Structure 1
């Protein structure tokens, strides 16, 4: 094998942390700054740098024709035989200005023991996960739009909700049917404790009257984007929906919570997805915020104090 090829391969493996130098003394020649990645281990290095500087090609009719020679994955996921609850089409008007919503948004971990109204819940699901419009994507056919951006309008993300305290909706695990604006019953009963344990017993899940688990249907995205960098897009799309969820919840008077700290296998088993073709990415919760004796929302972190300022490093 060509010596230059071997040197290049060795350098790449070394930069990713899979090889060590015989003279390694804590410094990595030519790779300054890698110490910042050390807490994330080789997994973090491998994910980021193996998808870095990916080559891209111009999207032409010929390329699109090649990508679409096989049937596209279904645009919507449905559990056709499931019992379902059709949510009201009427949507609550949040009635708050954009500026107010942005600055009122906080992460809440303490919720009042009060149910969320059915119409409020329905509005949150519709405005975050529902269909806003459809577009004609040429060879890719009709694709939907949500209120959040998604790479190539693939919208590979699905929403499952674990309901405990929503008025008029029986406790259980449901899949949100985007096309119908309905909840498809997967498991009936109380599953909040199971989800909470899978989320490292966080109160933001354990006290919330409902939580939403975002999953990604991988073939829906990989069908069009066939390079590993698309995995980054999938995570970004999850973040887009998460931000829309928390802002919409805030506008509706709810307190939002969001976390990526969960056991993937436990959450996926709870939902009944395989963790390969469909995998869990994000857990979102919301509820009526708990308030103190003065009527102020209970927050984990109060406004900055003088003592806190002294401990901080702003320079």
Structure 2
């Protein structure tokens, strides 16, 4: 019987132990680090006797005990069994993104939902809960106008008119328009009693109403606002100055050197204050929820910007460390997740894709 270690296998140190973690549906196992050397002999389908010759410096009795134990734990697979076939299929579909993406995806699958009573007992009291809002008390601040811009646009028109824009005019975005966009997308709509103090809700859904996402605004071309990096204080409805100066070249560089970002009137960095989510949800799956929440806010941002006559854009391609530094985030407890942008859309965009014609569909597989 030939054996091979799974392609879906990650090893790491955790709490002083060497852990081997197979995925999907695998159970993390704490082993002696020497197990990694034994597993390395089974990169491809290998007979145990052949592996023993490769590992000749190890005692035969050690291998005689270790190989069956690794096989029983699912860390070595038998050739031709269903587990091996599934492992090959996952490697084929996820291999381009391995090991980071498939490990995160499968390691956070089928996680038991925390018992409400147990979580309630471990949860911090009201006095120990993280603050609802992020503020920078010592920062210079610009109070934003409370008079909202007009959003009375038919829903179907907004929905079907929404497009991602990469070409913008040099017309400044009015401060009132930016203020409305920030208030509608990131401001509180109402407050609820969580049983351990208040939480607030936005116009977008958020897991457990934890509202762990903050908005940092890189202003390039907004009337009455000096270019710079600001934090949107949702409680005060104000912009708090993080750092003066912000140029199109810097904006493009932060967005992974995408030139279009420098043409936007402003960028919005969504950053996660992870303790707000972690205070209620202890499982690593909840990081998935943070990413989903960023997507919810991104869609509301795009629709609201469209209703205000702006062209929205968004990107997951950015230099994380540079963005965190520019926003004064530690990139540990507070880390950037998503970058949004907007400006006045150019009437004749150069980068707009042409419509699909008959010749396009000749080269397109619409179904199997």
The CA RMSD over aligned residues, in Å, is 2.5
Partners of 1:214 and 1:280 within 8 A in 2: yes
Partner of 1:3: none
Q: Does 1:22 align with 2:41?
A: no
Partner of 2:355: 303
* 1:248 to 1:29, Cα distance in 2 relative to 1, 3 A: same
Partner of 1:197: 253
Partners of 2:247 and 2:262 within 8 A in 1: no
Q: Indicate the structure whose relative CO is greater, using CA pairs within 8 Å and at least 6 residues apart.
A: 1
| Per-residue CA distance 1:224-258 (angstroms, 9 max, x = gap) | 11000000000000000000000100111100000
Structure 2 distance, partners of 1:203, 1:246, is 20
Partner of 1:78: 135
Structure 2 distance, partners of 1:134, 1:214, is 22
Partner of 1:90: 147
Partners of 1:171 and 1:190 within 8 A in 2: yes
Partners of 1:204 and 1:285 within 8 A in 2: no
How many residues are aligned here?
302
* Aligned residue among 176, 201, 217 for 1:119: 176
Partners of 1:199 and 1:262 within 8 A in 2: yes
Partner of 1:231: 287
Counterpart secondary structure, 1:197: helix
In structure 1, runs of 5+ residues without a counterpart are 1-6
Structure 2 distance, partners of 1:28, 1:116, is 57
Partners of 1:214 and 1:283 within 8 A in 2: yes
Partner of 2:266: 210
Shift of residue 14 of structure 1? 4.8
Partners of 1:108 and 1:257 within 8 A in 2: yes
Structure 1 distance, partners of 2:365, 2:137, is 55
Partners of 1:77 and 1:177 within 8 A in 2: yes
Partner of 1:153: 209
Query: What TM-score comes out, normalization by structure 2 length?
Result: 0.77
Structure 1 distance, partners of 2:23, 2:192, is 43
In structure 2, runs of 5+ residues without a counterpart are 1-5, 11-19, 27-35, 47-78
| Per-residue CA distance 1:287-308 (angstroms, 9 max, x = gap) | 000112xxxx555212212222
Counterpart secondary structure, 1:124: helix
Partners of 2:23 and 2:107 within 8 A in 1: no
5 Å-filtered alignment, 1:218-297, equals 218-292=274-348
Shift of residue 28 of structure 1? 4.3
Larger Rg over CA atoms: 2
Q: Does 1:101 align with 2:158?
A: yes
